[in-house]
């Protein structure tokens, strides 16, 4: 066994001429919860399917708990538990019947099946409903059953794709607590569109856009990866166009609370220059703050920047042709 549970290097995936995943690297260590984020069409689902052995990469290598997923797929897949966005549940089976079936699919030895089912039910809070038909359970309990089938064989790596979609706030809290508990013994990869979910349960975040990694950091290090933006409030605010002409300013945004957000180029320091300009032009500066790191803001910034970078050549070409 190794502390590095997943090591993916140089992953590519093509669908005909379309490149869905391009030179993507990903790693996961024991005890980590990795949040995989990205807008629709970013390549998250293709990445998860490659990591779980359900889709062959066009290029690249994947090792799961030391086993090469391409060379030794059976050995590598023994270390993976996977909950797809649509849980693979048989609604006409009871919870225990279904989990026994899943245990046999995962080659759990016959003498250990009963204890594996008992342990999965206990960890996922299913004891009180273990003899009920899955089709009669609430959405929250069905998600728990889905997670139980993913951990029934005690895998090193657990991959969860949108595990809280469709749940009410209480059910979401319960699933989040369960994910945190699982991370104490496993490595967890969590794909989700819910940014607060990543901040509440993940130890690390990786943002994917156009099939490439555009941001990766520990949640504890977000302050170091902040955009360097400042929030300013003026009694006599200048026009946005005037602020956009200030040295070092890349983007200006007027917020609903009256603040003006200024994003620098390459994390340049803006505060001193803004203060000097406010005095020189009589803007009457009332407040000037360094923006605190926020995953939603970082996500918006990196995706917005990537989209602008991707469309800039097209825009230039269109202008030249017109």
Res. 57: pLDDT tops 70: yes
Sheet holding 204-209, edge to edge: 80-83, 157-161, 187-191, 33-37, 204-209, 212-218
- Give 302's strand partners: none
Give residue for tokens 């030179």: 23
Query: How many percent of the chain have pLDDT more than 70?
Result: 91
pLDDT at 169: 86
pLDDT at 128: 95
Q: Per-domain residue ranges for the chain? A: 4-222, 227-291
CATH class in words for 227-291: alpha beta
CA atoms of 204 and 217, how far apart (whole Å): 6
C-alpha pair distances (Å), 228 with each of 205, 289, 291, 298: 19, 11, 7, 11
pLDDT tens-digit series, residues 241-262: 999 999 999 999 998 888 999 9
3-state DSSP call for residue 276? helix
pLDDT at 124: 92
Give Cα 90 to chain centroid, integer Å: 28
Band of pLDDT at residue 319, cut at 50, 70 and 90: very low
Instruction: Name the residue with higher pLDDT: 51 or 258.
Output: 51
CA atoms of 156 and 30, how far apart (whole Å): 8
Instruction: Name the residue with higher pLDDT: 300 or 206.
Output: 206
Give Cα 200 to chain centroid, integer Å: 12
Task: Say which residues have a Cβ less than 8 Å from residue 270's Cβ, sequence separation at least 6.
Answer: 228, 229, 230, 246, 248, 249, 262, 264
pLDDT at 203: 94
Give residue for tokens 């089938």: 149
Query: How many percent of the chain have pLDDT more than 90?
Result: 66
- Mean per-residue pLDDT, 76-91: 93
pLDDT at 316: 39
pLDDT tens-digit series, residues 298-310: 787 777 666 665 5
Instruction: Name the residue with higher pLDDT: 308 or 133.
Output: 133
pLDDT at 309: 59
Q: What are phi and psi of 150, to 5 degrees?
A: -75, -25
Token pair of 284 as six digits: 């009457």
CA atoms of 62 and 12, how far apart (whole Å): 11
Q: Angle CA(37)–CA(40)–CA(46) in degrees, nearest 5?
A: 75
Band of pLDDT at residue 314, cut at 50, 70 and 90: very low
Task: Say which residues have a Cβ less than 8 Å from residue 204's Cβ, sequence separation at least 6.
Answer: 32, 33, 34, 35, 216, 217, 218, 219
Res. 130: pLDDT tops 70: yes
Token pair of 194 as six digits: 């819910």
Q: Are 34 and 206 in contact (CB under 8 A)?
A: yes
CATH superfamily to which 4-222 belongs: P-loop containing nucleotide triphosphate hydrolases (3.40.50.300)
């Amino acid at each position: 066994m190794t502390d590095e549970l997943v090591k993916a290097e140089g992953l590519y995936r093509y669908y005909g001429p379309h490149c869905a995943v391009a030179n993507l690297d990903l790693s996961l260590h024991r005890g980590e919860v990795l949040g995989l984020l990205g807008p629709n069409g970013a390549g998250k689902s293709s990445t998860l399917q490659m990591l779980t052995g359900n889709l062959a990469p066009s290029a690249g290598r994947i090792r799961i708990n030391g086993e090469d997923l391409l060379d030794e797929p059976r050995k590598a897949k023994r270390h993976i538990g996977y909950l797809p966005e649509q849980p693979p549940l048989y609604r006409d089976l009871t919870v225990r019947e279904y989990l026994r079936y899943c245990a046999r699919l995962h080659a759990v030895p016959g003498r250990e099946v009963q204890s594996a089912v008992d342990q999965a039910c206990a960890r996922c809070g299913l004891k009180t409903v273990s003899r009920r038909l899955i089709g009669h359970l609430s959405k929250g309990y069905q998600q728990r059953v889905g997670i139980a089938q993913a951990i029934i064989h005690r895998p090193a790596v657990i991959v969860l794709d949108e595990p809280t979609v469709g749940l009410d706030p209480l059910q979401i809290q319960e699933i989040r607590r369960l994910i945190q508990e699982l991370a104490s013994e496993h490595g967890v990869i969590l794909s989700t569109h819910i940014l607060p979910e990543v901040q509440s349960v993940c130890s690390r975040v990786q943002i994917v856009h156009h099939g490439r990694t555009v941001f990766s950091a520990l949640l504890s290090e977000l302050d170091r990866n902040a955009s360097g933006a400042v929030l300013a409030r003026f009694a006599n605010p200048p026009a946005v166009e005037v602020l956009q002409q200030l040295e070092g300013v890349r983007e200006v945004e007027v917020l609903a609370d009256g603040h003006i957000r200024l994003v620098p180029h390459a994390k340049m320091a803006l505060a001193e220059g803004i203060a000097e300009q406010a005095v020189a032009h009589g803007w009457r500066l009332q407040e000037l703050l360094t923006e605190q790191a926020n995953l939603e803001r970082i996500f918006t910034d990196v995706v917005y920047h990537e989209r602008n970078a991707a469309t800039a050549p097209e825009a230039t070409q269109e202008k030249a042709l017109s």
